[in-house]
Protein backbone atom coordinates (compact mmCIF):
# COMPACT_ATOMS: atom_id res chain seq x y z
CA UNK A 1 0.00 0.00 0.00
CA UNK A 2 1.37 3.39 -0.98
CA UNK A 3 1.65 6.19 1.55
CA UNK A 4 -0.89 8.19 -0.41
CA UNK A 5 -3.43 5.37 -0.27
CA UNK A 6 -2.79 4.89 3.44
CA UNK A 7 -3.28 8.58 4.19
CA UNK A 8 -6.33 8.85 1.96
CA UNK A 9 -7.95 5.83 3.58
CA UNK A 10 -7.11 6.92 7.12
CA UNK A 11 -8.41 10.43 6.65
CA UNK A 12 -11.60 9.57 4.79
CA UNK A 13 -12.23 6.71 7.23
CA UNK A 14 -11.94 8.95 10.27
CA UNK A 15 -14.12 11.64 8.71
CA UNK A 16 -16.75 9.06 7.77
CA UNK A 17 -16.46 7.61 11.26
CA UNK A 18 -17.31 10.99 12.77
CA UNK A 19 -20.54 10.95 10.76
CA UNK A 20 -21.26 7.43 12.02
CA UNK A 21 -20.75 8.67 15.57
CA UNK A 22 -23.17 11.55 15.02
CA UNK A 23 -25.78 9.10 13.75
CA UNK A 24 -25.23 6.66 16.61
CA UNK A 25 -25.19 9.10 19.54
CA UNK A 26 -29.01 9.37 19.80
CA UNK A 27 -29.30 5.59 20.00
CA UNK A 28 -26.71 5.50 22.78
CA UNK A 29 -28.60 8.28 24.58
CA UNK A 30 -31.96 6.54 24.50
CA UNK A 31 -30.43 3.27 25.65
CA UNK A 32 -28.30 4.93 28.29
CA UNK A 33 -31.19 6.81 29.86
CA UNK A 34 -34.23 4.65 29.09
CA UNK A 35 -32.79 1.21 28.32
CA UNK A 36 -34.63 1.25 25.00
CA UNK A 37 -32.79 -0.23 22.04
CA UNK A 38 -34.58 1.39 19.13
CA UNK A 39 -34.29 -0.78 16.02
CA UNK A 40 -36.19 1.85 13.99
CA UNK A 41 -33.35 4.34 14.60
CA UNK A 42 -32.05 4.15 11.02
CA UNK A 43 -35.56 4.51 9.62
CA UNK A 44 -36.07 7.72 11.61
CA UNK A 45 -32.83 9.01 10.10
CA UNK A 46 -34.12 7.92 6.69
CA UNK A 47 -37.33 9.93 7.26
CA UNK A 48 -35.25 13.01 7.96
CA UNK A 49 -33.17 12.35 4.83
CA UNK A 50 -36.33 12.19 2.73
CA UNK A 51 -37.43 15.39 4.49
CA UNK A 52 -34.21 17.06 3.34
CA UNK A 53 -34.88 15.91 -0.22
CA UNK A 54 -38.41 17.36 -0.13
CA UNK A 55 -37.22 20.66 1.32
CA UNK A 56 -34.58 20.87 -1.37
CA UNK A 57 -37.02 20.01 -4.13
CA UNK A 58 -39.87 22.30 -3.10
CA UNK A 59 -38.04 25.20 -1.46
CA UNK A 60 -34.59 24.95 -3.00
CA UNK A 61 -32.97 24.62 0.43
CA UNK A 62 -29.38 23.38 0.57
CA UNK A 63 -28.59 20.28 2.65
CA UNK A 64 -27.29 22.25 5.63
CA UNK A 65 -30.12 24.81 5.55
CA UNK A 66 -32.64 21.97 5.80
CA UNK A 67 -31.31 21.33 9.32
CA UNK A 68 -33.09 24.48 10.47
CA UNK A 69 -36.40 22.81 9.65
CA UNK A 70 -35.47 19.18 10.12
CA UNK A 71 -34.07 19.37 13.65
CA UNK A 72 -37.19 20.93 15.27
CA UNK A 73 -39.51 18.88 13.07
CA UNK A 74 -37.76 15.64 13.97
CA UNK A 75 -37.78 16.72 17.61
CA UNK A 76 -41.57 16.97 17.44
CA UNK A 77 -41.76 13.61 15.67
CA UNK A 78 -39.62 12.10 18.40
CA UNK A 79 -41.79 13.66 21.09
CA UNK A 80 -44.98 12.27 19.51
CA UNK A 81 -43.37 8.91 18.90
CA UNK A 82 -42.21 8.71 22.49
CA UNK A 83 -45.63 9.43 23.94
CA UNK A 84 -47.50 7.32 21.39
CA UNK A 85 -45.31 4.26 21.09
CA UNK A 86 -42.13 4.21 23.15
CA UNK A 87 -43.45 5.23 26.57
CA UNK A 88 -45.84 2.27 26.86
CA UNK A 89 -42.89 0.01 26.07
CA UNK A 90 -40.56 1.29 28.79
CA UNK A 91 -41.54 -1.36 31.29
CA UNK A 92 -41.57 -4.17 28.73
CA UNK A 93 -38.79 -6.67 28.27
CA UNK A 94 -35.97 -5.80 25.92
CA UNK A 95 -37.09 -8.55 23.55
CA UNK A 96 -40.52 -6.99 23.27
CA UNK A 97 -38.99 -3.56 22.69
CA UNK A 98 -36.78 -5.01 19.98
CA UNK A 99 -39.72 -6.75 18.29
CA UNK A 100 -41.84 -3.64 18.44
CA UNK A 101 -39.23 -1.24 17.13
CA UNK A 102 -38.26 -3.75 14.42
CA UNK A 103 -41.90 -3.81 13.37
CA UNK A 104 -41.93 -0.03 13.38
CA UNK A 105 -38.87 0.00 11.15
CA UNK A 106 -40.64 -2.22 8.60
CA UNK A 107 -43.72 0.01 8.68
CA UNK A 108 -41.61 3.13 8.06
CA UNK A 109 -39.67 1.35 5.31
CA UNK A 110 -42.85 0.25 3.55
CA UNK A 111 -44.35 3.72 3.89
CA UNK A 112 -41.22 5.24 2.32
CA UNK A 113 -41.47 2.75 -0.53
CA UNK A 114 -45.12 3.60 -1.11
CA UNK A 115 -44.54 7.35 -0.98
CA UNK A 116 -41.17 7.73 -2.69
CA UNK A 117 -40.81 4.47 -4.62
CA UNK A 118 -37.53 2.59 -4.69
CA UNK A 119 -35.71 5.44 -6.42
CA UNK A 120 -32.48 6.84 -5.10
CA UNK A 121 -32.50 10.53 -4.15
CA UNK A 122 -29.69 12.89 -3.29
CA UNK A 123 -29.14 16.63 -3.06
CA UNK A 124 -26.71 18.26 -5.40
CA UNK A 125 -25.19 21.43 -4.02
CA UNK A 126 -21.96 23.39 -4.55
CA UNK A 127 -20.72 22.51 -1.06
CA UNK A 128 -21.47 18.83 -1.68
CA UNK A 129 -18.86 18.65 -4.42
CA UNK A 130 -16.25 20.86 -2.72
CA UNK A 131 -12.93 19.13 -2.13
CA UNK A 132 -9.70 20.23 -0.48
CA UNK A 133 -6.62 18.62 -1.93
CA UNK A 134 -3.57 18.52 0.28
CA UNK A 135 -0.44 16.76 -1.02
CA UNK A 136 -2.56 14.68 -3.36
CA UNK A 137 -4.99 13.67 -0.63
CA UNK A 138 -8.61 14.58 -1.37
CA UNK A 139 -10.57 15.77 1.63
CA UNK A 140 -14.27 16.11 1.05
CA UNK A 141 -15.61 19.39 2.50
CA UNK A 142 -19.00 17.86 3.52
CA UNK A 143 -17.07 15.28 5.54
CA UNK A 144 -15.05 18.01 7.26
CA UNK A 145 -18.30 19.82 8.09
CA UNK A 146 -19.71 16.49 9.30
CA UNK A 147 -16.71 16.10 11.62
CA UNK A 148 -17.14 19.62 12.97
CA UNK A 149 -20.87 19.11 13.57
CA UNK A 150 -20.32 15.70 15.13
CA UNK A 151 -17.64 16.99 17.50
CA UNK A 152 -19.71 20.06 18.38
CA UNK A 153 -22.79 18.02 19.20
CA UNK A 154 -20.88 15.43 21.18
CA UNK A 155 -19.02 18.20 23.04
CA UNK A 156 -22.24 20.08 23.77
CA UNK A 157 -23.91 16.91 24.98
CA UNK A 158 -20.98 16.08 27.24
CA UNK A 159 -21.06 19.63 28.67
CA UNK A 160 -24.81 19.51 29.29
CA UNK A 161 -24.62 16.09 30.92
CA UNK A 162 -21.59 16.85 33.05
CA UNK A 163 -21.92 20.53 33.89
CA UNK A 164 -25.58 21.46 34.09
CA UNK A 165 -28.30 20.68 36.58
CA UNK A 166 -30.43 19.26 33.86
CA UNK A 167 -27.52 16.96 33.01
CA UNK A 168 -27.35 15.77 36.61
CA UNK A 169 -31.03 14.93 36.44
CA UNK A 170 -30.54 12.97 33.22
CA UNK A 171 -27.64 11.05 34.75
CA UNK A 172 -29.63 10.37 37.88
CA UNK A 173 -32.51 9.09 35.75
CA UNK A 174 -30.12 6.86 33.84
CA UNK A 175 -28.61 5.44 37.02
CA UNK A 176 -31.80 4.76 38.95
CA UNK A 177 -35.12 6.03 37.61
CA UNK A 178 -37.09 5.02 40.73
CA UNK A 179 -34.73 6.87 43.07
CA UNK A 180 -34.65 9.85 40.71
CA UNK A 181 -38.43 10.00 40.78
CA UNK A 182 -38.44 9.89 44.57
CA UNK A 183 -35.98 12.79 44.59
CA UNK A 184 -38.45 14.86 42.61
CA UNK A 185 -36.89 14.51 39.18
CA UNK A 186 -39.60 14.45 36.48
CA UNK A 187 -38.41 11.16 34.97
CA UNK A 188 -41.13 10.87 32.28
CA UNK A 189 -40.28 14.38 31.10
CA UNK A 190 -36.55 13.55 31.03
CA UNK A 191 -37.30 10.43 28.99
CA UNK A 192 -39.41 12.40 26.53
CA UNK A 193 -36.76 15.11 26.21
CA UNK A 194 -33.99 12.57 25.60
CA UNK A 195 -35.94 10.73 22.91
CA UNK A 196 -37.13 13.94 21.25
CA UNK A 197 -33.64 15.47 21.49
CA UNK A 198 -32.05 12.36 20.03
CA UNK A 199 -34.50 12.36 17.15
CA UNK A 200 -33.75 16.06 16.58
CA UNK A 201 -30.04 15.18 16.35
CA UNK A 202 -31.00 12.71 13.62
CA UNK A 203 -32.44 15.70 11.74
CA UNK A 204 -29.03 17.38 11.99
CA UNK A 205 -27.26 14.20 10.91
CA UNK A 206 -29.63 13.86 7.94
CA UNK A 207 -28.81 17.37 6.71
CA UNK A 208 -25.07 16.67 6.98
CA UNK A 209 -25.43 13.25 5.30
CA UNK A 210 -27.49 14.50 2.39
CA UNK A 211 -24.65 16.84 1.42
CA UNK A 212 -22.71 13.84 0.10
CA UNK A 213 -24.85 10.72 0.47
CA UNK A 214 -28.15 9.45 -0.90
CA UNK A 215 -31.37 8.03 0.42
CA UNK A 216 -33.40 4.98 -0.59
CA UNK A 217 -36.02 3.07 1.43
CA UNK A 218 -33.28 0.55 2.18
CA UNK A 219 -30.80 2.99 3.68
CA UNK A 220 -32.48 2.98 7.11
CA UNK A 221 -31.71 -0.67 7.75
CA UNK A 222 -28.06 -0.11 6.93
CA UNK A 223 -27.80 2.76 9.38
CA UNK A 224 -29.77 0.90 12.07
CA UNK A 225 -27.34 -2.01 11.90
CA UNK A 226 -24.35 0.29 11.79
CA UNK A 227 -25.58 2.33 14.77
CA UNK A 228 -26.28 -0.78 16.83
CA UNK A 229 -22.81 -2.07 16.06
CA UNK A 230 -21.22 1.22 17.09
CA UNK A 231 -23.31 1.60 20.25
CA UNK A 232 -22.51 -1.93 21.40
CA UNK A 233 -18.82 -1.53 20.51
CA UNK A 234 -18.63 1.75 22.39
CA UNK A 235 -20.41 0.30 25.39
CA UNK A 236 -24.20 0.40 25.62
CA UNK A 237 -25.17 3.85 26.84
CA UNK A 238 -21.61 5.24 26.87
CA UNK A 239 -21.56 8.43 24.77
CA UNK A 240 -17.79 8.86 24.74
CA UNK A 241 -17.39 5.20 23.81
CA UNK A 242 -19.94 5.62 21.02
CA UNK A 243 -18.04 8.55 19.53
CA UNK A 244 -14.73 6.67 19.46
CA UNK A 245 -16.40 3.48 18.26
CA UNK A 246 -17.82 5.46 15.32
CA UNK A 247 -14.33 6.67 14.42
CA UNK A 248 -12.93 3.16 14.80
CA UNK A 249 -15.58 1.60 12.56
CA UNK A 250 -15.11 4.27 9.90
CA UNK A 251 -11.34 3.80 9.99
CA UNK A 252 -11.58 0.00 9.88
CA UNK A 253 -13.98 0.03 6.94
CA UNK A 254 -11.73 2.37 5.03
CA UNK A 255 -8.45 0.58 5.74
CA UNK A 256 -9.99 -2.82 5.00
CA UNK A 257 -11.19 -1.49 1.67
CA UNK A 258 -7.70 -0.19 0.89
CA UNK A 259 -5.79 -3.22 2.15
CA UNK A 260 -7.91 -6.10 0.92
CA UNK A 261 -9.51 -6.70 -2.39
CA UNK A 262 -13.21 -7.07 -1.91
CA UNK A 263 -15.77 -8.30 0.47
CA UNK A 264 -13.39 -8.05 3.37
CA UNK A 265 -14.78 -4.74 4.59
CA UNK A 266 -17.85 -6.00 6.50
CA UNK A 267 -15.86 -8.99 7.72
CA UNK A 268 -13.07 -6.75 9.04
CA UNK A 269 -15.58 -4.60 10.91
CA UNK A 270 -17.18 -7.61 12.57
CA UNK A 271 -13.81 -9.18 13.38
CA UNK A 272 -12.83 -5.95 15.11
CA UNK A 273 -16.19 -5.94 16.87
CA UNK A 274 -15.72 -9.52 18.09
CA UNK A 275 -12.15 -8.96 19.23
CA UNK A 276 -12.97 -5.78 21.15
CA UNK A 277 -15.96 -7.34 22.88
CA UNK A 278 -13.96 -10.44 23.72
CA UNK A 279 -11.55 -8.36 25.77
CA UNK A 280 -13.84 -5.44 26.62
CA UNK A 281 -17.36 -6.88 27.04
CA UNK A 282 -18.58 -3.52 28.38
CA UNK A 283 -17.35 -1.65 25.31
CA UNK A 284 -14.23 0.28 24.40
CA UNK A 285 -13.92 2.10 27.73
CA UNK A 286 -15.50 -0.63 29.84
CA UNK A 287 -18.27 1.67 30.98
CA UNK A 288 -21.24 0.35 29.05
CA UNK A 289 -24.07 -1.88 30.13
CA UNK A 290 -23.90 -5.59 29.35
CA UNK A 291 -27.69 -5.76 29.13
Dist CA 149 CA 195 (whole Å):
20
Helices (H), 117-186: 141-163, 165-175, 177-182
* Site track for other proteins across 137-176, x = CB under 8 A: -x-x------------------------------------
* Site track for other proteins across 187-216, x = CB under 8 A: -------------------------xxx-x
Dist CA 239 CA 27 (whole Å):
10
23/187 with CB nearer other proteins: 23
Residue 144: phi, psi to the nearest 5? -65, -45
What kind and span of H or E run contains 224?
helix 219-234
If binding means CB under 8 A, how many residues of this protein chain bind other proteins? 41
12 binds other proteins per the rule CB under 8 A: yes
Cβ atoms of 47 and 112 within 8 Å: the answer is: yes
**Interface residues for other proteins in 30-89 (CB under 8 A)?**
none
Least Cα distance to 79 among 220, 189, 185 occurs for 189
The 3-state DSSP class for residue 69 equals helix
Residue among 218, 240, 280, 287 that touches other proteins (CB under 8 A): 218
- E-strand spans in 182-266? 214-215
Per CB under 8 A, which region of 36-44, 71-79, 87-95, 128-136 contacts other proteins? Answer: 128-136
124/189 with CB nearer other proteins: 124
**Interface residues for other proteins in 95-114 (CB under 8 A)?**
109-110, 113
16 binds other proteins per the rule CB under 8 A: yes
Cβ atoms of 97 and 36 within 8 Å: the answer is: yes
Per CB under 8 A, which region of 168-176, 190-198, 199-207, 252-260 contacts other proteins? Answer: 252-260
Least Cα distance to 18 among 254, 279, 260, 265 occurs for 254
Residue among 178, 261, 278, 291 that touches other proteins (CB under 8 A): 261
Least Cα distance to 237 among 17, 33, 91, 19 occurs for 33
Cβ atoms of 42 and 107 within 8 Å: the answer is: no
94/267 with CB nearer other proteins: 267
Residues in touch with other proteins (CB under 8 A): 2, 4-5, 8-9, 12-13, 16, 109-110, 113, 117-122, 124, 129, 131, 133, 138, 140, 212-214, 216-218, 222, 250, 253-255, 257-258, 261-263, 265-266
Amino acid sequence: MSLELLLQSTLSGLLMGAMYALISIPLAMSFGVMRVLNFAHGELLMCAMYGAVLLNKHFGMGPYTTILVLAPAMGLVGFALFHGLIKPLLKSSMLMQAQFTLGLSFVIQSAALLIFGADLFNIRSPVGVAVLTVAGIAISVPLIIGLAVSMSICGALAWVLLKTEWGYRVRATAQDPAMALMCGIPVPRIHAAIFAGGTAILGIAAGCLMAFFHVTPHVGVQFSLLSLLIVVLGGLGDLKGTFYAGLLIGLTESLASALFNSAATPAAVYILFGVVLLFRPKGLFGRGSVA
